[in-house]
Amino acid sequence: MDATFWNDAERHLVRYSGAGSFVPEIIERAEGSFVWTADGRRVLDFTSGQMSAILGHSHPAVVATVQEQVAKLDHLFSGMLSRPVVDLARRLAETLPEPLSKVLLLTTGAESNEAAIRMAKLVTGRHEIVSFGRSWHGMTQAAASATYSSGRKGYGPAAPGNFAIPTPNAYRPDFTTADGDLDWRRQLDFSFELFDAQSVGSLAACIVEPILSSGGVIDLPPGYLAALRDKCHERGGLLILDEAQTGLCRTGDWYAFQRDGVVPDLLTLSKTLGAGLPLAAVITSPEIEQTAHERGFLFFTTHVSDPMVAAVGNTVLDILYADKLDQRAAELGAYLRKGLLELAGRHPVIGDVRGRGLLVGLELVLDRTTKQPADDLGAAVTRRCLELGLHMNVVQLPAMGGVFRIAPALTSTPEELDLGLEILDQAITDTAPRFTAISAGNR
């Protein structure tokens, strides 16, 4: 039976993850922090599905909402409105600072970023977009054109007017102070000097994540967002914050931008909003929405304002509030970080532990002094973790090494985090000696 499954998969499925392959397991069901394979193995999910299932898999309240809503009102003509949609728009606005109060409900992160960029271009009358050199904002046209971490080769011209600026990576700084620390202010000044030299004076927006996830879980330094906003506004552009993975309590705050006290012009949400179901949002000010409307803003899609997933979004907000999951993410995040730092004390291949709340990056290196990348080690540890019952996700980018994106569900228990740490410890113990020996032999 399993051989037939994999033969059918190989014969009929389009491979969509670049050089990567499918996880070599057939997943039969998922519940809470675990998934179960066809052969009955239980695997701890340290990625919340696709970084989305913040309430764990098959949360009873979400299951009940889907069952009730799909039997009552699932999908409508895109111009029609329902109570779940208006309720969710109002409730999202209530979680945010002024003037963020106008909401567009969509399906995916790429779609919400596409809509935000489209709105920014229409409102400003400009076309240039700035994003980070390690960015990931989605695979639709405008979002893909603002994505630089991968997926750019072979598809023809990107949208005109897209510019990449250096990512402020404190672990691998390019601009440094006298003490060797990242000098992000000098880096940012340099970035916009280069932009100004190439720009035709038509900046529409800067789009960034407060913590770059696919870029290696890189937390922007305190003060950076405010300085970036000012650079953007000085040139007539808008600031778009992509909180697909950081929004709705994962970082220990409701939104990652709250730490910096910076209110974006447009905010995009997705993954965490639907807790695993396809739900996304663009949120902006009445002023921007009014201008967009007056200029004929068009983003009329098949599943805009769908009632079923909007009902799920309302349930997600109910649970986040009732269970105080922002506080829980902060507490569990501190617990997880402490455990990872203890692992770093035992394993020299762990070069850095970073992130906020329950979005944590662990970077593997072959040498802590040189920070030699460890892509192959990261892949080997990932495979060994899966064999031992832990699903991990490693980001592999040139000159960065293997970075694990660790994002357990906000409903995880300390015991589940302990289990994950124990398996990770064992996986590194089993695999690292072979790679460090090869590295030493090549010196």
pLDDT tier at 441, thresholds 50, 70, 90: low
pLDDT digits (tens, 9 = 90+) for 271-306: 999 999 999 999 999 999 999 999 999 999 999 999
pLDDT digits (tens, 9 = 90+) for 346-375: 999 999 999 999 999 999 999 999 999 999
The C-alpha atoms of residue 330 and residue 425 are separated, in whole angstroms, by 23
pLDDT at residue 368, rounded to an integer: 94
Please report, in angstroms and rounded to a whole number, the separation of the first and last CA atoms in the chain: 48
pLDDT at residue 438, rounded to an integer: 65
Whether residue 435 is predicted with pLDDT greater than 90 in this model: the reply is: no
Confirm if 305 and 55 have CB atoms less than 8 A apart: no
User: Can the peptide bond before residue 221 be classed as cis, meaning omega within 30 degrees of 0?
Assistant: no
The C-alpha atoms of residue 41 and residue 25 are separated, in whole angstroms, by 10
User: Can the peptide bond before residue 99 be classed as cis, meaning omega within 30 degrees of 0?
Assistant: yes
DSSP 3-state of 395: strand
pLDDT digits (tens, 9 = 90+) for 235-264: 999 999 999 999 999 999 999 999 999 999
List domains and CATH numbers for the chain. Answer: 23-52+324-441 (3.90.1150.10), 62-322 (3.40.640.10)
**Percent of the chain residues past pLDDT 70, beyond the cut:** 96
pLDDT tier at 267, thresholds 50, 70, 90: very high
pLDDT at residue 76, rounded to an integer: 97
Two tokens, residue 405: 């994106």
Two tokens, residue 81: 């409105």
Least trusted range by pLDDT, from 19-28, 260-269, 349-358, 425-434 = 19-28
Residues tagged active-site: 136, 209, 242, 245, 271, 405
Confirm if 113 and 285 have CB atoms less than 8 A apart: no
Q: pTM for the complete prediction?
A: 0.96
Whether residue 400 is predicted with pLDDT greater than 80 in this model: the reply is: no
Whether residue 442 is predicted with pLDDT greater than 90 in this model: the reply is: no
CA 21 to chain centre: 20
The C-alpha atoms of residue 88 and residue 91 are separated, in whole angstroms, by 5
pLDDT tier at 93, thresholds 50, 70, 90: very high
Residue whose C-alpha is closest to residue 275's, from 17, 42, 58:
58
Residue whose C-alpha is closest to residue 359's, from 255, 203, 264:
255
Two tokens, residue 219: 């937390």
pLDDT at residue 436, rounded to an integer: 77
